[in-house]
Amino acid sequence: MGEAVTTLDGWYTYHDFRTLNWQAWRAAQPSARHEALAQLLAFAENNQRAQRDRQGAYGQYAIAGHKADLLFLHMRPTLAALNQVKSEFQKTQFADFTLPSYSYISCVELSSYLAKPGVSVDLDPYLQSRLKPMLPEMQSICFYPMNKRRTGTDNWYMLSVEERRELMKSHGLIGRKYGDVVTQIITGSQGLDDWEWGVTLFAEDPLQFKKLVYEMRFDEVSARFAEFGAFYVGTRLSKLQWNRYLQV
Contacts 24+ apart (CB under 8 A), 119-128: 121/8, 127/8
Between CA 5 and CA 110 the distance in angstroms is: 11
> Cα-flanking dihedrals φ and ψ of residue 213, to 5°?
-65, -40
Between CA 42 and CA 46 the distance in angstroms is: 6
Q: Are 23 and 61 in contact (CB under 8 A)?
A: no
Residue 121 DSSP one-character state: G
* Annotation says 214 is catalytic: no
Between CA 182 and CA 56 the distance in angstroms is: 21
CA 170, 172, 178, 179 torsion: positive or negative?
Answer: negative
Between CA 67 and CA 125 the distance in angstroms is: 38
Between CA 148 and CA 176 the distance in angstroms is: 21
Catalytic residue among 12, 61, 104, 144: 144
Residue 112 DSSP one-character state: G
Looking at the annotation, which residues are catalytic?
A: 144
